[in-house]
Amino acid sequence: MSEPIRVVVTGAAGQIAYSLIYMLSRGEVFGYDQPIILHLLDIPPMMEVLEGVVMEITDCALPLVVGVVPTADLSVAFKDVEAAFMVGSMPRKKGMERKDLLSANVKIFKEQGEALDKYAKKDVKVLVVGNPANTNALMCSKFAPSIPKENFSAMTRLDQNRAQAAVANRLGLRINQVRNVTIWGNHSSTQFPDAFHASAQINGIWKPVAEALNNSPWLKDEFVTTVQNRGAAVIAARKMSSAMSAAKAAADHMKDIWHGTAPGTYTSMAVLSDGSYGVPADIMFSFPVTIANKQWKIVQGLSVDDFSRSKLDVTAKELLEEKQDAVALCQD
């Protein structure tokens, strides 16, 4: 067996972490022969709840978990970690404006970026889940200058999984018979779920999803709005936000970083824009990427028609505004 790796989950007493920790502990992300030491960070008032989570981890009798470190101390949480799931954040409370939420969370990610910079391994892979995820990831990386910017990403995999499932349902296919659905932009209702470059396996042959659907207008209207609003629909039904599916998406995202994407496939994640597809540079924008040797590359050369262009521009504009607000808040 290999040497254990240290993995931190922030917001460890929360609902996403409750599912995620189990997936990590089973070996679903880093491998079924990779022991891990779990670092679990939450805020001081949650330490008792976190203790309960630790008891449950113990009671699961998981062979790959060789250590658990529950803490509210950033210097302990981020010490020598090789992978970081940044889930912890302040939820939106009644009467809170978007800017108040941004303010609270950007400050958390500034502080945690500084701690990653100081204590984590320099090759740590950082996945930001806590909202507003794209802008939190940008600020986290800005305050961790000694860690390569490419090591930071924000999660749009839940949106991608939702979009892939919607296409598979529409075509009456299994989930793995649909590939290369892309999420562009922000993890918010301005995101652009794009199935125009996706393929579906029909009677053993891969063909474009648009062709399989006879160029149905569904791809431009209902599909897009359903995926954009899926999070709100889950909250309306469950009275709580997506947790099991968010944890699965976080696991999928980090697993792809660790082990790479399969040949012929790509995945969506928010990474630092280099200006590809006319997207402004220096925002965390969700692109289609391939991954090998733990390094992502933005897929180039996909066609962008006027419809897609307008969608990309809307979500990029929102991210530029969020960035502007976040930078101003960090100077306060």
Which residues carry out catalysis?
187
Contact between 141 and 272 under an 8 Å Cβ cutoff? The reply is: yes
How far apart, in whole angstroms, are the C-alpha atoms of residue 248 and residue 252? 6
Report how many residues bind ligand NAI under the rule CB under 6 A. 28
Return the range that interacts with ligand NAI (CB under 6 A); candidates 124-132, 175-183, 220-228, 292-300.
124-132
Q: Closer to ligand NAI by CB, 270 or 291: give it.
A: 270
Listed residue (91, 83, 94, 88) closest to 36, CA to CA? 83
Return the range that interacts with ligand NAI (CB under 6 A); candidates 13-21, 253-261, 281-289, 311-319.
13-21
Contact between 293 and 210 under an 8 Å Cβ cutoff? The reply is: no
Upper half-sphere CA count for residue 144 (Cβ side, 13 Å): 31
Rounded to a whole number of angstroms, the minimum distance from the CB of residue 134 to ligand NAI is: 9
Tokens of 329: 């808040």
Q: Closer to ligand NAI by CB, 91 or 275: give it.
A: 91
Rounded to a whole number of angstroms, the minimum distance from the CB of residue 198 to ligand NAI is: 20
Question: What is the residue whose two structure tokens read 């600020």?
Answer: 139
Choice from 16, 40, 53, 251 touching ligand NAI (CB under 6 A):
16
3-state secondary structure of 220: coil
How far apart, in whole angstroms, are the C-alpha atoms of residue 319 and residue 187? 10
Contact between 89 and 136 under an 8 Å Cβ cutoff? The reply is: yes
Report if residue 106 touches ligand NAI, rule: CB under 6 A: no
3-state secondary structure of 319: helix
Choice from 25, 71, 103, 131 touching ligand NAI (CB under 6 A):
131
What is the signed CA dihedral for 39, 42, 48, 49, rounded to 10 degrees?
-90
Q: Closer to ligand NAI by CB, 48 or 305: give it.
A: 48
Report if residue 23 touches ligand NAI, rule: CB under 6 A: no
Of all residues in the shown chain, the one whose CB is closest to ligand NAI is 14
Choice from 38, 87, 181, 302 touching ligand NAI (CB under 6 A):
87
Choice from 25, 71, 89, 267 touching ligand NAI (CB under 6 A):
89
Report if residue 81 touches ligand NAI, rule: CB under 6 A: no
Parallel, antiparallel, or unpaired: how do β-strands 284-292 and 295-298 relate? antiparallel
Return the range that interacts with ligand NAI (CB under 6 A); candidates 15-23, 144-152, 200-208, 275-283.
15-23
User: Could you give the angle at the alpha carbon of 235 between the alpha carbons of 97 and 270, nearest 5°?
Assistant: 70
Q: Closer to ligand NAI by CB, 42 or 318: give it.
A: 42
3-state secondary structure of 284: strand
The interface with ligand NAI within residues 206-265 (CB under 6 A) comprises 241-243, 246
Return the range that interacts with ligand NAI (CB under 6 A); candidates 38-46, 143-151, 209-217, 312-320.
38-46
Return the range that interacts with ligand NAI (CB under 6 A); candidates 84-92, 171-179, 198-206, 211-219.
84-92
Rounded to a whole number of angstroms, the minimum distance from the CB of residue 48 to ligand NAI is: 12
Tokens of 152: 């930071």
How far apart, in whole angstroms, are the C-alpha atoms of residue 297 and residue 13? 34
Contact between 44 and 24 under an 8 Å Cβ cutoff? The reply is: no
How far apart, in whole angstroms, are the C-alpha atoms of residue 70 and residue 50? 7
Residues making contact with ligand NAI (CB under 6 A): 10-11, 13-17, 41-43, 46, 87-91, 108, 129-131, 133, 155, 158, 187, 241-243, 246
